[in-house]
Structure 1
Amino acid sequence: MRIKANMEKIPGGMMVVPLLLGALINTFAPGMLRIGGFTQALFVDGALVLIALFLLCAGAQINVRNVGTTVGKGVTLLTVKWVVGAAFGLIAYAFAGTDGLFLGLAPLAIIAAMTNSNGGLYVALVGQYGKGDDRAAYSILALNDGPFLTMVALSIFGAIGFVDGLFSVVDFVAVLLPIIIGAVLGNLDEEMRDFLDSGSNMLIPFFAFALGMGINFADILAGGLGGIVLGLMTVFLTGSAGYWVFKLFNWNPIVGASEGSSAGNSVATPAAIASANAAFASVESVATVQVAASVVTTAILLPIYVGFLVKRLEKKGKLQAYLQ
């Protein structure tokens, strides 16, 4: 029985399938796994611990030794992705209704989904349409794995009056310390980096299931359509912004467009944010399911969009010039 292979046929399946399964159980049989002991500790209460360990593993993939053009491209992608996501998040906060939503979308979900990219999808697309330094830029992009950039945006919004409450220095450190420890370990020892990289993949379905055990299926029905819209925004707004900025710098614009996705691990960001600041607890559930829907949408749509852009460049005879 090929469980893993079948799950991976679904875009973002290793994250989305356990999340939805957990939500299904929590909706129709909420007491089934709440029996105490190791069972409840792992499958119900273990989300934050598992996410913290995942962040440590993700931090180990940040390589500070890459310099030159690689850094320039990575920083540019990171900045464009964050600026676009944060800008639309700010608009959503400014015009949110009394329920804290903007056109059915949680502003927290907008920032989490639009500022955090699917590294695997980026590497796959750039591996086909980019050069070596384009692929190496992923080491910089690893900085948007996890809640850090979302916390930066929310803290700025809090300072200018759009968000209730700010993150203290302790809150930042509490969330970032696992990432920092992972980065130190990964840069001190390449073998440790590889070891932690393999561990991060294993953790994803487990913390996804635990997150699902905190979600009611009714929330998924309410947030699903909004999540699809969020996915469309992520592809066409952040992907297009990356495309045109890279074209402006005379870099391969296909590489810029390849950032137009939502990472599977961004599903964990609302929970991490809510754990650091209780002001976001009321929208954690709907934000989580909307980000999950965005992950699936972007995983399907971005390769199609990139393929369309590639054909346009090929018709103009420009793609090969970027690959030289």
Structure 2
Amino acid sequence: MEWDVAKKDFKRYLQLERNLSSNSIDAYLNDVHKLEAYCSYRTISLTQVDTKIVQQFLVFINDFPISPFTQARLLSGLKTFFSFLQIEYEWEKNPAELLESPRLSRKIPSVLHLREIDALIEAIDLSTNEGTRNKTMLEVLYGCGLRVSELVGLKISNLYLDVEFIKVEGKGNKERLIPIGKQAIKYLEIYLKEVRPMLPLKPGFGDFVFLNRRGAPLSRVMVFLIIKDLAKKIGLTKPISPHTFRHSFASHLVEGGADLRAVQDMLGHESITTTEIYTHIDKDYLQSVITQYHPRS
């Protein structure tokens, strides 16, 4: 079997059966391409790849300055590739199956205090159409816990404001319904009624909620720059990005006593383990435990 044939079929499998996004598919294929390049250098065919070869490849990769997370993702990609070959071509075994990924430390995400979110939103100049758009955008970003890609891809046809829900398309083109609060609904209705009709509209983009001044959907980079400028304006020095609002959304829900499964559904996490990180950042609760139970408090 040739590498090119296997990669072509693997790509089709990821597209049609796994329904992954183009970015995820590119990442998987890039993992396989790295192994292919290594094997080509050593004149090893695809059918000759065994566990020892994969181990040697991982040792080789480890000499490069890549993080444990990247190494773990690479190994996961190879396991998926060889698992596909087992299913599609009846390979006897997966040569990467028993290899262990490097241990990964779980970083606690940075979150914003409610007063910091209020300060950021209040710093927006509402005398301009762009200001009203930006305020609406941040209210939706924080109020629904969206990924930035979900925010810029939000469609008018997926707004169900009368029943206080929106529908978004997340990773792997998976759709989910998310409740939307009255504050975000209020500014969405103002923006859609009074501001968006004043903006130019490029053909093909009529259903997108958030447009730039040229009538095309906002880019992820533009959202990042808008937030960075607001942080600079109020003197906020902590690291901040669109994803910080998503972290803050989840953290504030958990702190308020929300069910973790409900938060998982709203965030679109496949595993509850990913959502559990937010149980570790309720500082007020942890402080109260220390105060109440530690003998030196």
**Coarse TM-score class (shorter-chain normalised):** under 0.3
**As a proportion of its length, which structure holds more helix?**
1
More strand by share: 2
Q: Which has the higher contact order (CA 8 A, sep 6+)?
A: 1
Provide the TM-score with structure 2 as the length reference.
Answer: 0.27
